[in-house]
Structure 1
């Protein structure tokens, strides 16, 4: 006799993507039904109690979040060949190191009963929200523009790499590998564009209240927009600034 039905859905609601980062340990009241000695069956009270606890956790995590995701959490079933001792109190928990994001597992342990067993159920967490999806295939090294993607709803949890939801963070970046149409843009797919090579002549700009000065210099390393780079000034002094574009390095004042 199997311990659980073949599958059941625990949650279909809206929660922020950060919820998966919380470590959860659920302690529920006695809800299991006694069964014959060849196994144990968890009744509907157990499922209802779990649902109620998750609803409360979702409400707390969602409070104050301006852009929640629509989460779908589903749990699979145990191997029907398992034979577990009857249990009057089953405690579900999220194992250490398991994130509530994508595919994972949910632990179930008997804390009151004839045997202290511990088993795991497959867990799938989907997180639907807006993301930028590629219109066409993109070659490795190509610079992405606004025309390369369209906004659609996707499952953020389908891959480990985070979705880049803000266009300002991916427009002008370079594809780190060949990309396929229909893929949502994620952090692992793009990298900052190289503005100039080591040894290039650049213009160093220093700006302060009511003034701006500039001078020529030589880049000592390859420059990437938005990243720091060391340069050698005309007088031989070495300093560091932030790459602004293909020709300019700005010094902090």
Structure 2
């Protein structure tokens, strides 16, 4: 009988010890925050942040959020308060961002989770190779969806922003047209007959003149006053019109 009892005790120890270890591990795991929880918190925060960004800017676009994988061995104390999330250094929730997930509970901690937010919008692209000084027409450009989160030089979303303007550098097919690649086309050519308007308050004086250089709207060019023969600096205001201050 004694041998039987001892055998039972030994068997119980062998059976219960692994079970107790597993139960201990499960209890410990229940008190930890896992990488999946941090990824979910980051995803939810960025979804709301992007929605707010689009609403504030009245932007029509679709987006895609990719949260980087975290080390599966990462373990943090289970937070007894709702997790707090905020953007790291980025001013806007677009492009490569870092989200700070933190716990302000009894066992505080914080971790930075990297992610990428792609924002897709229709933007102006070149239909073909275009040379510098090309005047853009509807045959040259079109709208195509692109990820604008990495377009650091900017982009344009309306055809009227580019048509009739001139390229300042060559572009390749499918290349996004940036604002700094455009300038206003000349509306006055050297030798054109122009109307010179001199303004002073409510007084306007007009006189005939001759453009001595090409000019786009807003640009100053030399203009010869055909009455006096004097050459003055005048600002181009439109086709055939320039303005000087009195």
TM (normalized to structure 1)? Answer: 0.62
Give the one of 40, 60, 85 matched to 2:76. Answer: 85
1:149–1:103 CA distance, 2 compared to 1 (3 A) = same
1:152–1:113 CA distance, 2 compared to 1 (3 A) = same
CA contact (8 A) 1:87 1:113 kept: no
State the partner residue of 2:163.
Answer: 171
1:74–1:55 CA distance, 2 compared to 1 (3 A) = same
Distance (whole Å) between structure 2 residues aligned to residue 113 and residue 48 of structure 1 = 19
Q: In the alignment, does 2:220 pair up with 1:226?
A: no
Give the greater-gyration-radius structure (CA). Answer: 2
Offset of 1:105 from its aligned partner? Answer: 2.4
Offset of 1:202 from its aligned partner? Answer: 5.7
Q: 2:104 aligns to what SS in structure 1? A: strand
**How big is each residue's C-alpha offset from its partner over 1:12-57, in whole Å with a ceiling of 9 and x where there is no partner?**
xxxxxxxxxxxxxxxxxxxxxx964997315659837963884497
Gaps of 5+ in 1: 1-33
Offset of 1:91 from its aligned partner? Answer: 1.9
State the partner residue of 1:242.
Answer: 236
State the partner residue of 1:215.
Answer: 208
Offset of 1:132 from its aligned partner? Answer: 2.6
- Corresponding residue pairs, total: 212
Distance (whole Å) between structure 2 residues aligned to residue 101 and residue 225 of structure 1 = 36
**229-238 or 133-142: which moved more?**
229-238
1:184–1:98 CA distance, 2 compared to 1 (3 A) = same
1:202–1:72 CA distance, 2 compared to 1 (3 A) = farther
CA RMSD of aligned residues (A): 4.3
Q: Specify which structure has the bigger relative contact order, considering alpha-carbon pairs within 8 angstroms and separated by 6 or more residues.
A: 1
Distance (whole Å) between structure 1 residues aligned to residue 156 and residue 46 of structure 2 = 31
Distance (whole Å) between structure 1 residues aligned to residue 114 and residue 130 of structure 2 = 35
Gaps of 5+ in 2: 1-26
More strand by share: 1
Distance (whole Å) between structure 2 residues aligned to residue 77 and residue 143 of structure 1 = 47
TM (normalized to structure 2)? Answer: 0.63
